[in-house]
Structure 1
Amino acid sequence: MGSKKNVAPLLKHDHCISSIGWVMFMCLIFANCLINSVFIEHKSISLIDSITFPLQKWGIWLILTPFVLHMLQSRRKFALSSRLFYCVLSISTLSLSLTFSVALEVSQSDISIVHSLFFIWPKHAAALLIVILLWHLKQVLFHKPNTSINALQHNHTSSKVNTLMIEVDGLTHTLAYQDILFVQAAGNYMEVVTQERTYLTRATLKQLHNLLPKDDFVQCHRSYLVNLDYIEQLKNHPAGHASAYLIDSQVIPISKSQRSTIRTLIASR
């Protein structure tokens, strides 16, 4: 429950910022419509048309952007590879946006569905790409990484044997081993996930594995270490791999080679 309480304010903040961004973008389109009517086409100003035009074109993203942000924030709960996750997210989001936009445009003009779809989809694909890139940029800029693995190793040798010390923004956090759910590789960094929050540190999976007790933490996937105490259920998949369901609705992948090993270790505890 702790992680959900921490994620909710972050999502509300992201949703607020995204809504403000889209409103500002549509205000620019509104201003452009007015300028075009007055100075270029020399027509009388139609405030209703100028307001409804950007809403018809981009209003759906006021609803879809919070959905996309929520999915990105909750991506670890899905037992999908990163590539498959983004593929599913893109298809579902673009399907909704294009269905709404094309249906609205076709209902208001004589343009065909195919013709409308041909001109609309690149704009909406670009909008989705920008939302995803901005979200990732925010993670890089405002979720600063912790200290290097050298500092972790130094803290580890001087701390109690059942704790891991991580420095975040100049503050040292002592994590009890039993509070760590799992560790996930994130590019050149590692995410140490607890029920309360996620800590980001520059390290390798092998380096962190050496700092954690081998009896409790097992590498279940090339990108994951899992605390066996928190696995509530294992679900096998036809392809041979599996998914581990942890407390707090966390789901992490289990590779084919480790599936039987993980099951045996859990049964022997």
Structure 2
Amino acid sequence: MRKIINWYGFEGRLALIFWLGYMAWLVVFCVIHQMVIMDSGVNVVSSILWTLREWGFWMLITPTLVSLLSKTEHYEKPLKAKLHILGAALIVALLYKVAVNLYSGRSDVLATLVSYSPKYLQVLLVISLGWYVLLKGEQVYYANKNPTTEPDSPKNNASRLLVSTGSAEAFIHVQDITAVQAAGNYVDIHTANSSYILRATLKHLLEQLPQAQFVRCHRSAVVNINYVKQLHSFATGKGELELECGRLVPLAKSYRTQFKQSVINTADC
């Protein structure tokens, strides 16, 4: 369970808390409606069941949904990936609602689709906007919380980084880093023999590393050119960088020229 919660990330956990609070409010509202409007006996169980039937599915998928949206920030085509995820979520939610209504015999397929499609589109819009605001806010927070240089002073690269080993934290030397890959609001830092986690954006971390040594080779990856063994090219224009430890790091077509120029500049030094 702890691994699942950690995989959700900050946005996912906050989304889960939001849905739990919203559904609790709906239950209270249903109870008040029964007492004031319907002037009938209070049935808390029926209120809970109605709330779960209407919105329980979104409570379950929203943490995963926002976590997937965060991961697409580092794709080559992030907007396209986000639209695919949101479209898939809409289809799955509608299929679930159709199945529930058919099982209960309350409406047919067409009526369910016409009734719930606009409603679920609005839900996805709110989720997307909420995720975007939280993501950008968190990025600014961690960038300001962990500055690597003194204000208004020449930029100095860090010689060591404090990273997570899973159960503890440890310092690693920057020179030992072979590659860095983004994973939502985290980055996976690889050395020749181990991998670590750091809560930061790839852009912010790259600013801390020696620019001549660490080069961006993909929207979601940075590589230490001192550890690159081979460059494998594909017909599509993309490629892979094989490190001395055997790890393969993607090389995007849009970063290919920049990477080669960095290698040339390093060789000339």
Equivalent residue for 2:89? 93
Task: Choose the corresponding residue for 1:71, options 59, 68, 72.
Answer: 68
Query: Which residue type is aligned with residue 98 of structure 1?
Result: L
Q: Alpha-carbon deviation of 1:109?
A: 3.8
1:156–1:24 Cα change, 3 Å = closer
CA offsets 1:94-145 (integer angstroms, 9 cap, x no match): 2222211222123324422122112212332333333343333333334332
Question: Which SS does the other structure have where 2:156 is aligned?
Answer: helix
Task: Choose the corresponding residue for 2:44, options 47, 57, 62.
Answer: 47
2:26 pairs with 1:26: no
1:87-166 paired onto structure 2 within 5 Å? 87-142=83-138, 143-146=141-144, 147=147, 151=151, 154-156=154-156, 163=159
Give yes or no for contact 1:145–1:202 (8 Å, CA) kept in 2: no
Q: Which runs of 5+ in 1 are unaligned?
A: 167-172
Q: Which runs of 5+ in 2 are unaligned?
A: 163-170, 190-195
Question: Which SS does the other structure have where 1:33 is aligned?
Answer: helix
Q: Distance in 1 between matches of 2:33 and 2:4?
A: 43
Q: Percent identity?
A: 17
1:99–1:201 Cα change, 3 Å = closer
Q: Alpha-carbon deviation of 1:80?
A: 4.4
1:140–1:235 Cα change, 3 Å = same
Q: Distance in 2 between matches of 1:96 and 1:52?
A: 21
CA RMSD of aligned residues (A): 4.8
Using the size of structure 1 for normalisation, the TM-score is: 0.63
Give yes or no for contact 1:232–1:245 (8 Å, CA) kept in 2: yes
Equivalent residue for 1:217? 214
Q: Alpha-carbon deviation of 1:155?
A: 4.0
CA offsets 1:142-196 (integer angstroms, 9 cap, x no match): 4332449885972428x7xxx4899xxxxxx996144263488x9xxxx986343
1:168-207 paired onto structure 2 within 5 Å? 176-179=174-177, 181-182=179-180, 194=189, 195-200=196-201
Structure having greater relative contact order (Cα 8 Å, sep ≥ 6): 1
1:81–1:58 Cα change, 3 Å = same
Query: Which residue type is aligned with residue 125 of structure 1?
Result: L
